[in-house]
Amino acid sequence: MEFVASDKSCLTWSGDCLVIGLSEESLPLTGILADLNRQCSGLLQELIDESEFTGKADSTAVIRLGGDAAVRKLGIVGLGGSDELSLERLRRAAASAARLAKKEKCATLGISFPVWNNSPALTTQSLVEGSLLAMHQDSRFKSEPEKSKVELETVHLLEQVGQTAAIEKAQKICAGVILARELVAAPPNVVTPAKLAETAAEIAQAHGLSVEILERDDCEKRGMGAYLGVAQASDIPPKFIHLTYQPSGTPKRKLAIVGKGLTFDSGGLNIKAGAGSSIEMMKIDMGGAAATLGAAKAIAQLQPDVEVHFISAATENMISGHALHPGDILTASNGKTIEVNNTDAEGRLTLADALVFANQLKVDAIVDLATLTGACIVALGNDIGAMFTESRDLAKSLMTAAETTGEKLWQMPMEEKYFEGLKSVVADMKNTGPRAGGSITAALFLKQFVNKETDWAHLDIAGPVWTEKESGYDNPGATGYGVRTLVQWVLANS
Ligand code: BES
Ligand code: MN
Ligand code: ZN
């Protein structure tokens, strides 16, 4: 799909489908919209009346214009109250416009939306993101992909001259989001630890990053006993992935992004057998690693003045004669011992060694992303990620980034007292505590593997990594959650 920042207005553009963004305050029609209405012989007003359109956010309507009109279809998309206009509203509205054009079999779409907050660049970026992400279709695993005869080919952003940089920025970011979506959506017999490592190598090759893959024996030498304990039952080898983006100038900061990379989580001997444990969905358990690689792909192209390390301790969590026993004691690479009282709390074991590795790189800040706990879904539902951090600065910068991108994130407490639940009689800690506060004890567990001096945040993305229904620019399936916020956060650090 191609984007054109056009100096044409909705009055002069011609093409298959014209979509106008209307806020509640743009009714009754005045100014250029009244002109447009006159130009189409009152059909815009008729459309508004017949569909009882009020400008409510996410509402749409469409009408066919007669014979020799410059556009075939005229659509309207509601933007809600103009005081509530946001980049996210625009992103969702652009998604609605693109979906409408596709449904109406239009190859060219012209969209006319207001500029948010006097920021044409951010407005254009959001419109491109919304339409690109909404139009992303994944038919890699269909033998006969549904293809409509007419696909949406070109989107003209009307009254948005000179915004080519914003278009390109959005395209780079969306390439990262789409990579993450496709990694998460692919089944566990396709996306293996080796596949994740290959993907990292491809990103490095294409965009000039350096890549290091630690094999099992390299990890043994580094004493990564927690990670290797999880990996030991699988017939396929673990791959510890480390990608580095080094800016051409002197980096302003050094950051690390760490993603949980369980390409399949059976639960191990504490197998996911209970009702609702969704073992068949556990390909999504590498959503953190997918977001990490997606962010790497985008950041490598956007080239900020920040050094960024992208890390994932990738493996499967399987069962076999050489699986972890519930009760085994493992030693992580910082020397801490862990009594594994539940083999299904494996993500934190892999992250433990990945976080120690990130710390050894002497970075200023670490953000990890993980589909870590079902408890987090119970707490925040399927749309909202959880943020755990003791750094006010990091909390603020991540929250600001998430608000800019529209990815919903909520800060949770790191209640130190709950660490009591992880006390072990025999080892330094157990890997799971009581059911209550399960996502908090998971975060407190991870904290044991991060140096106190390093700013660190943990994002539990178990809920938003996947969606069953279409919503805004998300399609059913993997969302690519985290990529856009990570990219925004890194750019804000440059
Ligand atoms: N990968 C799961 C968490 C998960 C569950 C992600 C559902 C997405 C959807 C994680 O490894 C896990 O199994 N967590 C356990 C922890 C428990 C044993 C303390 C859980 O949440 O049940
Ligand atoms: Mn698990
Ligand atoms: Zn897991």
Q: What residues line ligand 1, using a CB cutoff of 6 Å?
A: 265, 278, 285, 342, 344-347, 371-375, 432, 438, 462
Ligand 1 centroid–CA 158 distance in Å is 46
Interatomic CA distance for residues 10 and 194, integer angstroms: 50
> Of all atoms in ligand 1, which is nearest to the CA of residue 442?
19
| Token representation of residue 315 | 């493996």
- Cα 254 to its chain centre, rounded Å, is 22
Residues with CB under 5 A from ligand 3 (ion): 262, 265, 285, 347
At residue 68, the pLDDT reads 83
Interatomic CA distance for residues 320 and 235, integer angstroms: 9
Residues 230 and 350 sit within 8 Å (Cβ to Cβ) = yes
Q: What is the domain partition of the chain in residue ranges?
A: 2-160, 174-492
Interatomic CA distance for residues 47 and 66, integer angstroms: 14
Interatomic CA distance for residues 142 and 187, integer angstroms: 13
At residue 160, the pLDDT reads 84
Class of domain 174-492: alpha beta
Name the pairing type of β-strands 239-245 and 306-317: antiparallel
Ligand 1 centroid–CA 462 distance in Å is 8
CA nearest to 184, candidates 346, 299, 292, 297: 292
At residue 25, the pLDDT reads 97
Nearest protein Cα to ligand 1, atom 22? 374
Q: How far is CA 192 from CA 206, 317, 459, in A?
A: 21, 11, 23
| Token representation of residue 178 | 């789409």
Ligand 1 centroid–CA 54 distance in Å is 43
CA nearest to 449, candidates 339, 282, 372, 334: 334
Query: Which stretches of the chain drop beneath a pLDDT of 70?
Result: none
Ligand 2 centroid–CA 264 distance in Å is 9
Nearest ligand to the CA atom of 432: 1
Interatomic CA distance for residues 287 and 395, integer angstroms: 21
Q: Hey, what long-range contacts does 449-452 have (CB within 8 A, 24 or more apart)?
A: 449/332, 449/334, 449/336, 449/351, 449/352, 449/353, 449/355, 449/356, 449/359, 450/355, 450/359, 450/366, 451/359
CATH number corresponding to 2-160: 3.40.220.10
Run of H or E including 109: strand 108-112
Ligand 1 centroid–CA 201 distance in Å is 29
Helical H segments across 303-372, by residue range = 347-360
| Token representation of residue 101 | 């054009």
Mutational pocket test of ligand 1: of 264, 344, 384, 441, the residue with most ligand atoms within 8 Å of the beta carbon: 344
Query: HSE on the CB side for 274, CA within 13 Å?
Result: 7
Nearest protein Cα to ligand 1, atom 8? 462
Interatomic CA distance for residues 74 and 11, integer angstroms: 12
Question: Catalytic amino acids?
Answer: 272, 348
Ligand 3 centroid–CA 371 distance in Å is 6
Run of H or E including 383: none
Residues 338 and 426 sit within 8 Å (Cβ to Cβ) = no
Residues 265 and 272 sit within 8 Å (Cβ to Cβ) = yes
Q: How far is CA 441 from CA 336, 337, 372, 398, 416, in A?
A: 17, 17, 11, 21, 9
Name the pairing type of β-strands 60-64 and 71-78: antiparallel
DSSP label of 471: B
> Of all atoms in ligand 1, which is nearest to the CA of residue 346?
11
> Of all atoms in ligand 1, which is nearest to the CA of residue 278?
7
Beta bridge partners of 19: 75, 111
CA nearest to 352, candidates 456, 492, 277, 425: 456
Nearest ligand to the CA atom of 324: 2
Mutational pocket test of ligand 1: of 260, 285, 339, 377, the residue with most ligand atoms within 8 Å of the beta carbon: 285
Residues 116 and 163 sit within 8 Å (Cβ to Cβ) = no
Query: HSE on the CB side for 45, CA within 13 Å?
Result: 13
> What residues contact residue 488 under an 8 Å CB cut-off, 6+ apart?
401, 402, 404, 405
Sign of CA dihedral 410, 348, 292, 269: negative
Helix, strand, or coil here: 280?
helix
Helix, strand, or coil here: 88?
helix
Residue with tokens 């002197």: 250
Length of the chain: 494
Nearest ligand to the CA atom of 342: 1
At residue 145, the pLDDT reads 85
Interatomic CA distance for residues 258 and 3, integer angstroms: 33
Q: CATH topology of 2-160 equal to that of 174-492?
A: no
Ligand 2 centroid–CA 463 distance in Å is 14
At residue 151, the pLDDT reads 93
Q: How many CB atoms lie within 10 A of CB 250?
A: 7
At residue 447, the pLDDT reads 98
Nearest ligand to the CA atom of 379: 1
pLDDT per residue as tens digits for the range 259-288: 999 999 999 999 999 999 999 999 999 999
Mutational pocket test of ligand 1: of 286, 373, 435, the residue with most ligand atoms within 8 Å of the beta carbon: 373
